[in-house]
Structure 1
Amino acid sequence: MTAAREIVAGLFISLDGVVEAPKMGTAVGAMHAEADTLVMGRVTYEAFAAMWPHQTGEPADRINDIRKLVASTSLAEAGWRNTTLIDGDVVESLAALKRQPGKSAGASDRAGHRAAALP
C-alpha cells in the first residue's frame, strides 16, 4: 500500500510578532520547496496573488509555478498561474489530494491548518 501524501501546515511568525506577512517570503518559500502543491484559503490567496506574481527569483519562481488549490465559497475565479478553486466539498477534495501520488502539499494559513488535520 502506498503511503498517503501529507498536507504540511506551517505557521510563520517573526521575532517582533508579525504573523504570515508577505515579507516573510523566504520562510514561506523554504517550507514549500519540498511540496508540489500549495493549499490555501481565500484570504491567503488574495494576499499571495497580489504580491508573488510581481516577484522574480527564488522563492517567487517556485511559489508562482507550484500547483495551488484554493478553498473559497466567495471567489468566482482565480487568475494566478497554476491556481484551481476547490469545487464542491473541500474535505473530500483534500482527502482525494492526499490519496494522489506526489510530494507533500504545503499550507500556511488557517484553511491549510484545518486541511493538515484531516485523517
Structure 2
Amino acid sequence: MAEDRLSLVFGALADPIRRAILIRLTEGEATVAELAAPFDVSQPAISKHLRVLEHAGLVSRSRRATARLSRLEAEPLREVTTWLARYQRFWDESHERLDELLAALQARQDDDARHGHG
C-alpha cells in the first residue's frame, strides 16, 4: 500500500525541530550546517530530519558546487490546509452554539437580577 502523503506530512510536522527547519527555509535555501546552527543537535541528526521532510515532499535538496542546499516545497502544506479547512464549518457552528448558549445564560442572569432572584 502506497504511503498517504497527508500522513507523511503530519508525521513530518509532528517534530518541533522539523517545524523550525521549515520556518527557517521560508527565508531561503540553507545548508545542513546553517540549519543545524540554532539547535543542540549534530549535523547528521539534522540530515535525518531533512530526509523525513524530503520524504514528505516538504523539502527538496540540490547541490551548488560543494554545498548541498535544502529548499522549502510548500505545496504539501496547501494540501494540509485544504484538509483542515473541512473542519472550519464544524468549528464555526460550534462557536455559534456556544455564543447562543452564553447569550441565553446572560439573558437569564439579567432577568434574574431585574426580578430580584439570585
- Higher Cα Rg: structure 1 or 2? 2
TM-score by length of 2: 0.26
TM-score by length of 1: 0.26
* More strand by percentage: 1
* More helix by percentage: 2
